[in-house]
Amino acid sequence: MKAPIGVFDSGYGGLTVLRELVKALPACDFLYLGDNARTPYGTRSFEVVYQYTLEAVTYLFRQNCPLVILACNTASAKALKNIQVLHLPHIAPGRRVLGVIRPSVQKAAELTKNGHVGVLGTAGTIASDSYPMELMKWSGGRIISTVQEACPMWVPIVENNEIGSQGAEFFIRKHIDSILLKDRSLDTLILGCTHYPLLLDSIRRYVPDHVEILDQGRVVSEKLVEYLGRHPELDSQISKNGTVTFLTTEHPDIFDSKATMFMGRAVSATNIHL
C-alpha cells in the first residue's frame, strides 16, 4: 500500500523544509504534522523531546507513511538515533525515519574549503553537540573545526513576527558577532534551526560575504532525492499524486494563519491528538 512521506516538526519551522521538499519531489504526497500545542522543543529536556517525537513518529507510521522526515533540528538532535535504533524495528520494520542534521553536515563538509564550520541553533540542539559529532563522522577523515552558538531569541522573533524590527536586528547581530569571534576563519555557516531561513536577509547583513550560509531546506531535499534514488524499494512505497496534507496538535485556525508565512502559500490544517 502506497502512502505519503511524513514530515514532522515541533510546530511551524518544518514548513521551511517541507516547502523545499515539495519543490524537489513534486509528484510525491506529503503528510505534515506540527506539534504546535507543545512547541517549542528547543528549550525542553532530552527526555521530553524524545517522548514527544516518538509519539509523533508513531502517529505518522500509523498513517502508513513509509518514510518520516524529522524536519526539526532539536528532534533530530535529541530523538532520532534512539528512535532509529530502539523503536523502528518494533513499530515500523522496513520503514525509515531520517533527520535534518546528517544531510546538513554532509553538505557543509563538501562546501567548506578551510574546514572551519559554524553552527547556529536552539539551546537544545547546541547542547546536544550533535552537529560537531556528526561533522566529525561525515568529514571523510578531514579535520573540521566546529564552533557553535545557541540563539534562544531567534525562534520567538520569528514566531512573534518581529522579523526586521530593531530588537530582532540586535539579537541577530549579537549572535553572529559572537560566533564570528569564536572562530574568525569560518567559511561555512549552518543555520541549524528550521526558523532561521526566515531571518536570512538580516543574517546576511552581519556575515562576511565569503562565508557560505547553508540553506537547510534545500540541502535536505537535494539529499533526499539522492537517497530515494539509492533506495527504489522505499521510493516505490510513496504515493505520488502531488498532494500536501497538514495536521496540527493545535487549533487549525491558529496554525493556518501562521503557517502561511512559513510555507509561502495558503495552508489549511486538521487537528489531531497525539
Give the catalytic positions in this structure. Answer: 72, 193
Pick out residues in 158-217 that bind ligand DGL (CB under 6 A). Answer: 193-195
- When asked if residue 72 is in the footprint of ligand DGL (CB under 6 A), the reply is yes
Cβ proximity to ligand DGL: between 19 and 237 the closer is 19
- When asked if residue 119 is in the footprint of ligand DGL (CB under 6 A), the reply is no
**With CB under 6 A as the contact rule, which of the stretches 18-26, 72-80, 166-174, 202-210 interacts with ligand DGL?**
72-80
The H or E element that residue 206 is part of is: helix 200-206
| Closest to 125 measured CA to CA, from 187, 182, 74, 66 | 74
Task: Give me the least distance between CB of 121 and ligand DGL, in Å please.
Answer: 6
Residues 71/54, Cβ–Cβ less than 8 Å: no
Applying CB under 6 A, among 6, 40, 103, 197 the residue interacting with ligand DGL is: 40
The vertex-149 CA angle with 147 and 150, nearest 5°, equals: 150
**x/- string (CB under 6 A) for ligand DGL, residues 127-156?**
----------------------------x-
Residues 154/175, Cβ–Cβ less than 8 Å: yes
The CA-atom distances, in angstroms, between 103 and each of 5, 6, 127, 179, 273 are 17, 17, 20, 22, 30
The full 3-state SS of 238-257, as one line of letters, equals: ECCCCCEEEEECCCHHHHHH
Cβ proximity to ligand DGL: between 66 and 197 the closer is 197
**With CB under 6 A as the contact rule, which of the stretches 24-32, 34-42, 134-142, 234-242 interacts with ligand DGL?**
34-42
- When asked if residue 99 is in the footprint of ligand DGL (CB under 6 A), the reply is no
Residues 72/121, Cβ–Cβ less than 8 Å: no
**x/- string (CB under 6 A) for ligand DGL, residues 8-27?**
-xxx-x--------------
Cβ proximity to ligand DGL: between 131 and 239 the closer is 131
Task: Give me the least distance between CB of 107 and ligand DGL, in Å please.
Answer: 16
Q: Please tell me the distance from the alpha carbon of residue 110 to that of residue 119, in angstroms, as a whole number.
A: 15
**With CB under 6 A as the contact rule, which of the stretches 69-77, 89-97, 141-149, 203-211 interacts with ligand DGL?**
69-77
- When asked if residue 42 is in the footprint of ligand DGL (CB under 6 A), the reply is yes
DSSP per residue, 137-173: HTSTT---EEEEEE-TTHHHHHHTT-TTSHHHHHHHH
Where on the chain is the footprint of ligand DGL (CB under 6 A)? 9-11, 13, 39-42, 72-74, 122, 125, 155, 193-195
